[in-house]
Amino acid sequence: MKLSEEKWLIKKNNFEVSPVNETIFTLSNGYLGVRGTFEDLFFNETPGTYVAGIFDKSESQVKELVNLPYFWGLKIYLKYEYLNPFECEILDYKRILDMKQGLLYKEMRLKDKKNRITKIEGYRFLSHDNRNLALMKYKIVPENYKDRITLEYFIDGKTTNSTFHPKERVKHYFLSNHVVSDDYLYLEACTRDKNYKVGILSSVEAENYHSKVSRNYIDFIAQSIDIDPVPQNEYTINIYTSILDSRRYDNLHENNLKEIRKAKNIGIEKLLENHKKKLEKRWNVADIKIYGDEKADKALRFNIFSLLSLANPDDEMVSIGAKGLHGEGYKGHVFWDTEIFMLPFYIYEYPEAARSFLMYRYYTLDKARENAKKNGYQGAQYPWESADTGEEETPKWGEDYYGNKVRIWTGDMEYHITADIAFSIREYLRATDDWEFFLNYGAEIFFETARFWVSRAEYNKDKDRYEINKVIGPDEFHEHVKNNFYTNYLARWNIKEALKYINIIKEKFPESYNKISRKINLVESELKKWKEVSNKIFIPWNKTTHLIEQFEGYFKLEDKIITKYNEKNMPEWPENVDLTKLNKYQLIKQADVLMLMHLLSEEFDYETKKINFEYYEKRTMHKSSLSPSIYAIMGLTIGNHSKAYEHFLRTALVDLEDNQGNTALGLHAASAGGTWQAAIYGFGGMNIDKDEKLNFKPWLPPHWKSMEFNIYYKKKLFNVKITQNHIKINDLSSLNDK
């Protein structure tokens, strides 16, 4: 197998069972995700097989992305003794994620206690060409023996969610069908609450074997192939798997079988070519090259690889969970992470994917309407955490930093997501000019979210202003707060922009306006109220000092400053902080005021950004991986380059160095998007001015020779090359595939 050049490879050269590596080596194609466990599935690994959109609740507190049967099982036996690295001398070992080819490669030479040396080499991938296909190929070479080799391929139907958490472990499916034949193995899982079915069909291709046997062990099905080998000969096994689910397909068994017959006819090598071609097309647009900083270059590429792996523009019914399809953290739920952190990447590098993620919010708009109504409001209130239907899925109970049971309030109070979604629709429209989307779907979301804010704002008669109280802003250390700057500002923005779009649509697309306003019952008298609320929403900003109070009363809290950093360069808690009472302090979890200054950068001057950066940076614990990227961008904006670079590495390496300590639970997908934003908006200095012109004001760290990337903007593709003292922009529209 020819691997790509070094800059495309993430390598691990020592054998270890590591849940962090399982996340890093996860393969995904937006439909399916499979964690990077070893094929053997050692007892202390945490396997994960996920299909986007397949959720189930059963005994768990809230719905979870279901951990489905594991289908990449392969064990090797020599004369019926299990060959495994724990009991062998490991002569050679390599595991490599080849990001260009989108595959996970393994090479291993093992010497067992009987001095038999076996070489195992091969790869697996989830096709980006046909997202239902998973393929694996291994070559086995018995170097110095003739003992019978048995290859046991298996599909394991015993998997559970939260495998190592006895109080939370849940089995979300039962097996509704098994078919075991010489030709193929078929296992069908059926979720317990909604009876979503997922059919997994695998067929093994091997040559020069002596015999094969297929077995049904009820919750585990397997096919074993015996080989009586000639030393030094190479024995190949190819495994074709097709996965289909009942949310999107019928006749799972039959259709899977058809897929597999087709796939076997094409052959694994050609399927790999097709997959690589599709991925290459994406890489040709989305790759960012940094010359002069190999570490940053590769880390950035890993983040882009992860984002490319999570998109599936053909499925508008799903969006990306906070941990991707890479693990069970946050139960596979979708947060503002998608719209505010990841979506910019898709808007500028893969607009079809951006559109499809926004369509997920359109399809869940009715649930957001119901949610608003249930809570006593109008319009649409998006849930803080969303799964398959768009209902509020945030758990009510969790654990604090000491493991004490605590009430989680985010589902009740973290309202800002509703404005975040509207914001992302504006971002998408401005960059793509996709008015078809806006007029048919986006505008409706925009108006319904504005309507929500108008009803959510509370009139304070004494002060003649509207307030939004009992909220949680982006910083989740402070709950039940009054007038969070970020929330109020973006709520006002949401209403004002909605009014602006109403005028534009009325004037330019009167038919569409009539259709939308009729559909959602929008009448002139209501708009008066919108204007009044948007003009009178209280924004806690004392312009004389430039420093913005994160919420009313924040400056009165006990002040604590961060002075120490741990070995991963992450902030340490200042002394004497009671971690059960974080509401008491000015310490914050993540960017909040600065977050808004990033989103609406043009509305704040340099001085204001600088003063707020300097104040909040010392008080931000970065306990959310959504934080460092924003400080990187804002640091560059105000010219604090060294801090900005540090923050950039924090966000870019969050998973590769596990600097939040929880990569085991899945990818930090928002941080991946934030890393892209830090590169493009930060170092590239890209921004859009009020005439919707694209501008670049780059700054590169002194050791960076150059940086190169491509951007889709208003249906054209541009190539941007930045060196220390030049910037060159080329129109590549002739290569534009759209």
Residues designated catalytic: 476
Q: How far is the CB of 524 from ligand BGC (least distance, A)?
A: 37
Instruction: Choose, by CB under 6 A, the member of 589, 609, 622, 647 that binds ligand BGC.
Output: 589
Q: How far is the CB of 476 from ligand BGC (least distance, A)?
A: 4
In the block, tokens 């996340």 appear at: 23
> Residues touching ligand BGC: how many (CB under 6 A)?
12
Site for ligand BGC in 25-64 (CB under 6 A): none
Q: Which phi and psi (to 5°) does residue 566 adopt? A: -85, -175
Q: How far is the CB of 319 from ligand BGC (least distance, A)?
A: 13
Strand 397-399 relative to strand 173-180, pairing: unpaired
For residue 250, the tally of other CB atoms under 10 A from its CB is 8
Query: Which C-beta is closer to ligand BGC: that of 487 or that of 624?
Result: 624
Is position 712 an interface residue for ligand BGC (rule: CB under 6 A)? no
Q: How far is the CB of 623 from ligand BGC (least distance, A)?
A: 7
Query: Which C-beta is closer to ligand BGC: that of 335 or that of 357?
Result: 335
The binding track of 313-352 with respect to ligand BGC, each residue x by CB under 6 A or -, is: ---------x-------x----xxx---------------
Q: For residue 584, what are the CA distances in angstroms to 52, 150, 399?
A: 39, 63, 18
The binding track of 451-490 with respect to ligand BGC, each residue x by CB under 6 A or -, is: -----------------------x-x--------------
Contact 53, 315 (CB under 8 A): yes
What is the rounded CA–CA span in Å between residue 469 and residue 478?
12
Is position 597 an interface residue for ligand BGC (rule: CB under 6 A)? no
What is the rounded CA–CA span in Å between residue 176 and residue 187?
8
What is the rounded CA–CA span in Å between residue 507 and residue 505?
5
Query: Which C-beta is closer to ligand BGC: that of 626 or that of 679?
Result: 626
End-to-end CA separation in angstroms for the chain: 33
Is position 670 an interface residue for ligand BGC (rule: CB under 6 A)? yes
Query: Which C-beta is closer to ligand BGC: that of 653 or that of 670?
Result: 670
What is the rounded CA–CA span in Å between residue 175 and residue 189?
5
Strand 706-713 relative to strand 397-399, pairing: unpaired
| Tokens describing residue 235 | 């024995």
Is position 590 an interface residue for ligand BGC (rule: CB under 6 A)? yes
Site for ligand BGC in 110-169 (CB under 6 A): none
Query: Which C-beta is closer to ligand BGC: that of 186 or that of 335?
Result: 335
Query: Which C-beta is closer to ligand BGC: that of 474 or that of 684?
Result: 474
Supply the DSSP symbol for 132.
Answer: T
Q: How far is the CB of 68 from ligand BGC (least distance, A)?
A: 23
Q: How far is the CB of 589 from ligand BGC (least distance, A)?
A: 6
What is the rounded CA–CA span in Å between residue 568 and residue 657?
8
Nearest Cα to 191, choosing from 326, 68, 48, 31?
A: 68
Query: Which C-beta is closer to ligand BGC: that of 293 or that of 388?
Result: 388
Site for ligand BGC in 612-641 (CB under 6 A): 624, 626
Residues with Cβ within 8 Å of 282's Cβ and at least 6 positions away in sequence, in order, are 128, 308, 349, 350
Query: Which C-beta is closer to ligand BGC: that of 99 or that of 582?
Result: 582
Q: How far is the CB of 336 from ligand BGC (least distance, A)?
A: 6
Q: How far is the CB of 365 from ligand BGC (least distance, A)?
A: 20
149 by Cβ neighbours in 10 Å (0-12 / 13-18 / 19+) ranks as: buried
Query: Which C-beta is closer to ligand BGC: that of 151 or that of 582?
Result: 582
The binding track of 158-197 with respect to ligand BGC, each residue x by CB under 6 A or -, is: ----------------------------------------
SS3 of 338-370: HHHHHHHHHHHHCHHHHHHHHHHHHHCHHHHHH
| Contacts by residues 25-28 (CB-CB < 8 Å, ≥ 24 positions apart) | 25/95, 25/97, 25/104, 26/324, 26/325, 26/326, 26/327, 26/667, 27/102, 27/103, 27/104, 27/124, 27/125, 27/126, 27/309, 28/126, 28/309, 28/310, 28/324, 28/325, 28/326
What is the rounded CA–CA span in Å between residue 439 and residue 435?
6
Q: How far is the CB of 190 from ligand BGC (least distance, A)?
A: 29
Q: How far is the CB of 528 from ligand BGC (least distance, A)?
A: 35
Q: How far is the CB of 206 from ligand BGC (least distance, A)?
A: 43
String of DSSP letters for 283-312 = HHHH--EEES-HHHHHHHHHHHHHHHHT--
**Residues in a beta bridge with 197:** 190
Residues with Cβ within 8 Å of 160's Cβ and at least 6 positions away in sequence, in order, are 67, 169, 170, 171, 172
Query: Which C-beta is closer to ligand BGC: that of 322 or that of 644?
Result: 322
What is the rounded CA–CA span in Å between residue 534 and residue 453?
9
Query: Which C-beta is closer to ligand BGC: that of 275 or that of 478?
Result: 478
The type of residue at 104 is L
- Binding stretches for ligand BGC (CB under 6 A): 322, 330, 335-337, 474, 476, 589-590, 624, 626, 670
